[in-house]
Amino acid sequence: QVQLVESGGGLVQPGGSLRLSCTISGFALDAYVIAWFRQAPGLEREGVSSIDGGDGTLYYAESVKGRFTISRDNVKNTVYLQMNSLKLEDTAVYYCATRPRRPRYIWTYQQSYNSWGEGTQVTVSS
């Protein structure tokens, strides 16, 4: 049974950093794409970043490029999202999601992801 558990959210001041973790059980990372999405109050859920667990291909939303870094640890079966220089507009519930590497879809196509975590709250506030 596939299970995704996010952790690492919290309250941080603007300019601060957080590292989110997505621990995955039930399959090996190297056969899957793992992505982070977020949903702010009143807004639609949007893609933040993704990583191909096999070949390591990375994608980032323009709004987080240069500030967020996605990485994976195939031994720990965990995907991380290092978030630096956080802004007020980064406040959201962050979700990790996964899908098989094939067939290929655009990484932001949410309906292609068949397993989702429960989410972790990130609040950026002074």
pLDDT in tens, 89-100: 999 999 999 999
Distances (CA, A) of 24 to 1, 17, 42, 50: 10, 23, 29, 15
pLDDT exceeds 90 at position 1: no
Q: Once rounded to an integer, what is the mean pLDDT over residues 18-41? A: 94
Tally the residues of the chain. Answer: 126
Lowest mean pLDDT among 23-37, 55-69, 105-119: 23-37
Question: pLDDT tens digits for 36-87?
Answer: 999 999 999 999 999 999 899 999 999 999 999 999 998 899 999 999 999 9
Report pLDDT for 116: 97
Report pLDDT for 87: 98
- Measured from the Cβ of residue 53, the count of other Cβ atoms closer than 10 Å reads 23
Distances (CA, A) of 18 to 69, 86, 121, 123, 126: 11, 8, 11, 10, 15
Report pLDDT for 27: 84
Report pLDDT for 16: 98
Distances (CA, A) of 102 to 13, 98, 113: 39, 12, 11
Q: Once rounded to an integer, what is the mean pLDDT over residues 14-31? A: 93
For residues 122 and 81, what is the distance between their CA atoms, to the nearest angstrom? Answer: 12
For residues 98 and 37, what is the distance between their CA atoms, to the nearest angstrom? Answer: 11
pLDDT band with cut points at 50, 70 and 90 for residue 12: very high
